Amino acid sequence: MMQFKTIATAFALLIALAVGSVHAEDVSVNINQADAAELADALVGIGLARAKAIVAYRSEFGPFEDVYELVNVRGVGERTVNLNEARIRLK
């Protein structure tokens, strides 16, 4: 009986994760227009401090023309961009 509960719990967790990841893909953000709070809310692995750095970089160098330009922002690596590529809009 205990094994059944463990399997059922694991299955329920898998379904919850699958539903959450489908919903997460629906989130997108324009990195050339969003403020720091919007960036932090929409991007995986980007907190408010890093989002502020993205906004500062954009203010200094102009709009991003390619999502991979984000790696020029201190603390944003290629892995973070890869994780968020589907969420990022430029226009």
- Ordered by start, the domain boundaries in the chain are 28-89
Question: Could you report how far apart the first and last alpha carbons of the chain are, in Å?
Answer: 54
CATH architecture of 28-89: Orthogonal Bundle (1.10)
pLDDT > 70 fraction of the chain, expressed in percent and rounded: 74
Q: Say which residue, 18 or 22, is predicted with more confidence.
A: 18
Q: The whole model's pTM is what?
A: 0.72
Q: Supply the DSSP symbol for 85.
A: T
* Two structure tokens written together for 14: 């898998």
Per-residue confidence (pLDDT) for residue 79, from 0 to 100: 97
Q: How confident is the model at residue 47 (pLDDT cuts 50, 70, 90)?
A: very high
DSSP assignment of 62-76, as one string? ---SSGGGGGGSTT-
Q: How many CA atoms lie within 13 A of 74 on its CB side?
A: 5
Q: Say which residue, 6 or 85, is predicted with more confidence.
A: 85
